[in-house]
Amino acid sequence: MNTQRPLEGITVLDFTRIYSGPYCSMLLGDLGAYVIKVEKKGTGDDSRQFRPKPNIKEGSGYTMYLNRNKKSVELDLKDETARGIIYRLCEKADIVLENYAPGVAKKLGIDYDTLKKYNPQIIYGSISGFGQTGPYRNKAAYDIIAQAMGGYMAVTGPKNGMPIKLGTSVGDSCAGLHMAFALMAAMYYRQRTGIGQYIDISMMDSVFATLENHVMIQTMDHITPVRNGNSNQNAVPFNTFRTSDDYVAIAVANDALFEKFAQAIQRPDLLENPDYKTTNNRKLHEDELTKIVEEWTTKHTTKEVCQIFEDYKIPVGPILGIDQLVEDPHILAREMMIEVDHPYGGKIRMPGCPIKFSETKIDHFAPSSALGADTAQVLREIGGYTQKELEDLAEAGIIPR
């Protein structure tokens, strides 16, 4: 297996903070890119103050995960000399990434139109709540707002109950994933044409684009999808069900699986009932079929239900808690829990990289840096600054000593 990672040789100038952008640049760093995280002088990324164990200088657990494999550069971007440093670094960068509100990068003098003067081939990505155009462009947003306005909350939650956001900030991560994909597509385009470009990714767009078939149900069937707990829009039984000791998730997605399901619960009579013969009919009679399913599942433990259905190759699974997942044998076998020897936190366990290649191993996870700790190194290695220049910048208070 080749020890070289796929993105080695790619330099990323990263102005992002909190989640959407840092998740994107973390993936790039995991894959070998040289990621330069530019942080606000004095306070750095807001996530340095998040749980667990907030610490502005050394970083929190939140920071330690999302900002591994990155170099921290501390600058006041409102300072003209600091902006000059950015322009010099930009000349050697392949990608610039930011997730400020629209217009902020331009005010700071680090927008696409400005930076492409220093590097015409630069690929510049902007993540924001609602994008750089449209009537909502200046509206403030965090993940919950994107989930609310993008459609997730309209279809998430109990039937006839209040709308619920998904348990994690998937609007952020979804935008970060779309941006990572777009950056790689732009890199490929530049490789063929020599032309860089600007990429605009919106959290609301990303949420809306991942509504599965809900939009098509609206536009083709003229039925507005609504909250319906954990049930599926199409298939039954496809839900979470009570067991004698907890809950279990069962996914019977087609007629062939339903035949196996009826055999597994020893109810062959269900196959003769016209109400349950097809997927569409089962959906029309979902409430009564759900009662039949739970009459059976509540007589068994979650472990028993899983074992019975797995024997029949029916998709089934327990509701695993985070405490169980961090010790789960499959997660461990897939190297999805890694240990990073952190200079400030000791040996820290965190999620690994979900991308698995056949020819390159993703197993290098450098610890996140203290605020500004890599400033001189980055300026020397990427910007070509001499020792005298670095000393002068430190003396003037532009970079940390």
**CA 202 – CA 205 distance, rounded (Å):** 5
| Contact partners, residue 290, CB within 8 Å, separation at least 6 | 231, 236, 237, 239, 241
Using an 8 Å Cβ cutoff, are 49 and 56 in contact? yes
Q: Is 172 labeled as catalytic in the residue annotation? A: yes
- The phi, psi pair for 74, rounded to 5°, reads -105, 120
Residue 185: alpha-carbon gap to chain centroid: 18
Residue among 63, 13, 27 at smallest CA distance from 180 = 27
Inter-residue contact 101 to 138 (CB < 8 Å): yes
Provide the terminal-to-terminal Cα distance of the chain, rounded to the nearest Å.
41
Pairing of strands 198-202, 123-128: parallel
Catalytic one of 94, 111, 172, 200: 172
HEC per residue, 32-82: CCEEEEEEECCCCCHHHHCCCCCCCCCCCHHHHHHCCCEEEEEECCCCHHH
The distance between the two most distant Cα atoms of the chain, rounded to a whole number of Å, is 86
| Two tokens, residue 310 | 């797995």
Residues in the chain: 401
Helices then strands, each counted (H, E), the chain: 17, 11
Alpha-carbon distance of 288 to 349, in angstroms, equals 45
Backbone angles phi, psi at 379, to 5 degrees: -65, -35
Active site residues: 172
